Amino acid sequence: MTTDWIAEARRVARGRRFDALGSSPVQQGARPAAPLSEAEICEAEAELGITFPDPYRAYLFRQDAGDAVKRLCRSAAGWGWHRDSDTNYALLATAFPHPDSYRAYEDELIAREPLAEDFPDHHAYQAVREQWDAEYEVFEERKTSGAVYIQDNGCGFSTLLVVTGPLHGSLWFDGRATCDQILPLNLDDQPVSFTNWLARRSMDLVGW
């Protein structure tokens, strides 16, 4: 059965449902949010369908990193991260994929990108092109399945905290704005823990 990628792209895009700018009671520049209780953390996990890594849970009991880490909070829209328009909540419970797992598909997808010169009929080209663009959009969105955009690093860069799958608890750098890659954060050639990451800059932990 042929996939309607335009419809799938629209469905996946709806997962970015949490408009923290308007839905959170926390105002920009305010003091760090109060620590969360065990009951609140469990409620958030149940609602989101995930289990937080232990170091991140310990952080939520403290909430001591100020604005460096996006705050988990509850609003009328439910639990989510303040000032976060990137995390796809519909994909949070899906395992985060290691970049090696989709490299072949990405190469194949790029290789079959439709070109206008291959289509004598412009309307036929437009139809094929729209489907390809939508498929690529879905593919890019699924690259961050099972991960939270835990920190905005500026210039289109972000730090990801994996909350689902075999890579649970690891941190990654979304550098697609320039290098088109999602890269692991490592410290002394080992995956950096959430606790150790808090005291460092993501840019210093990326193996470019």
SS3 content of the chain, % helix, strand, coil (to 5): 40, 15, 40
For residue 94, is it left (φ>0), alpha (ψ between -120 and 50) or beta? beta
Report the run of H or E that residue 78 belongs to, with start and end: strand 78-81
Look up tokens 């939508």; give the residue.
Answer: 134
Q: Answer whether residue 18 shows pLDDT above 60.
A: no
What CA–CA distances, in Å, run from 196 to 71, 186, 199? Answer: 18, 10, 6
Q: Answer whether residue 29 shows pLDDT above 50.
A: no
Whether 78 and 46 have beta carbons less than 8 Å apart is answered as no
Considering the entire predicted model, what is its pTM? 0.89
Instruction: Give per-residue pLDDT as tens, 46-99.
Output: 999 999 999 999 999 987 656 688 989 988 888 999 888 899 999 999 999 999
pLDDT band for position 26 (50/70/90)?
Answer: very low
| pLDDT for the residue 32 | 53
17 is written with which tokens?
């449902």
Q: Answer whether residue 25 shows pLDDT above 50.
A: no
Which has the minimum average pLDDT: 10-19, 127-136, 149-158?
10-19
- Gap between the Cα atoms of 124 and 146, Å rounded: 36
Per-residue pLDDT averaged across 10-36, rounded?
64
133 is written with which tokens?
């663009």
Instruction: Give per-residue pLDDT as tens, 159-196.
Output: 999 999 999 999 999 999 998 999 999 999 899 999 99
Instruction: Give per-residue pLDDT as tens, 107-119.
Output: 999 999 999 999 9
| pLDDT for the residue 27 | 44
